[in-house]
Amino acid sequence: MTAHPVAHRVPDLGALELLLAVARLGSLGRAARELGITQPAASSRIRSMERQLGLALVERSPRGSRLTEAGALVTDWARPIVEAAEAFDAGVHALRDRRDSRLRVAASMTIAEYLLPGWLIALRELRPGTAVSLLTGNSAAVAERLLDGAADLGFVEGLDVPRGLDGAVIGHDRLAVVTAPTHPWARRRGDLAPGELAATPLVLRERGSGTRQVLDAALAAHGGLADPLLELASTTAVKAAAISGAGPAVLSRLAIREELAARRLTEIPVAGVHLSRDLRAVWPAGQRPTGPARDLLGLTRG
Are both 92 and 64 inside the same structural domain? no
Are both 63 and 123 inside the same structural domain? no
Are both 155 and 199 inside the same structural domain? no
Q: What is the CATH number of the domain that holds 240?
A: 3.40.190.290
CB 280, CB 166: distance < 8 Å = no
Q: In the chain, how many domains are there?
A: 3
How do residues 154-168 score in pLDDT, each as one tens digit?
999 988 899 999 999
Q: What is the pTM of this model?
A: 0.69
Are both 116 and 79 inside the same structural domain? no
Q: What is the CATH number of the domain that holds 41?
A: 1.10.10.10
Looking at residues 15-22, what average pLDDT do you find?
90
Residue span of the structural domain in which 143 resides: 87-165+282-300
The three-state DSSP-derived secondary structure of the chain is: CCCCCHHHHCCCHHHHHHHHHHHHHCCHHHHHHHHCCCHHHHHHHHHHHHHHHCCCCEEEECCEEEECHHHHHHHHHHHHHHHHHHHHHHHHHHHCCCCCCCEEEEEEHHHHHHCHHHHHHHHHHHCCCCCEEEEEECHHHHHHHHHCCCCCEEEEEECCCCCCEEEEEEEEEEEEEEECCCCHHHHCCCCECHHHHHHCCCEEECCCCHHHHHHHHHHHHHCCCCCCCEEECCHHHHHHHHHCCCCCEEEEHHHHHHHHHCCCCEECCECCCCCEEEEEEEEECCCCCCHHHHHHHHHHCC
Are both 55 and 111 inside the same structural domain? no
31 assigned to some structural domain: yes
1 assigned to some structural domain: no
Looking at residues 275-297, what average pLDDT do you find?
93
225 assigned to some structural domain: yes
98 assigned to some structural domain: yes
**103-108/203-205 β-pairing:** unpaired
Are both 37 and 112 inside the same structural domain? no
Mean pLDDT check: name the lowest of 60-64, 125-129, 131-135, 146-150: 60-64
The residue from 62, 86, 110 where one domain ends is: 86
Q: What gap in Å lies between CA 266 and CA 251, rounded to an integer? A: 12
Q: Which amino acid is at 155?
A: F
Are both 22 and 94 inside the same structural domain? no
The residue from 86, 109, 130 where one domain ends is: 86
135 assigned to some structural domain: yes
187 assigned to some structural domain: yes
Are both 273 and 225 inside the same structural domain? yes
**203-205/230-232 β-pairing:** parallel
Closest listed residue to residue 295, CA positions, set 162, 153, 106, 157: 153
Are both 131 and 180 inside the same structural domain? no
Neighbour-count burial of 3, counting CB atoms closer than 10 A to its CB (0-12 exposed, 13-18 middle, 19+ buried): exposed
293 HSE (CA, 13 A, CB side):
23
68 assigned to some structural domain: yes
Are both 274 and 178 inside the same structural domain? yes
Are both 191 and 273 inside the same structural domain? yes
Crossing angle of helices 39-53 and 13-25, in 10° steps, is 110
Are both 161 and 287 inside the same structural domain? yes
- The strand pairing partners of 280, in sequence order, are 156, 169
Q: What is the CATH number of the domain that holds 149?
A: 3.40.190.10
The residue from 86, 106, 121 where one domain ends is: 86
pLDDT at residue 64 is higher than 80: no
How do residues 106-133 score in pLDDT, each as one tens digit?
999 889 988 999 999 999 888 888 889 9
Q: What gap in Å lies between CA 298 and CA 185, rounded to an integer? A: 42
pLDDT at residue 302 is higher than 70: no
Share of the chain above pLDDT 70, in %: 95
155 assigned to some structural domain: yes
- Contacts of residue 160, defined as CB under 8 A and 6 or more positions apart, other chains included, come to none
Share of the chain above pLDDT 90, in %: 52
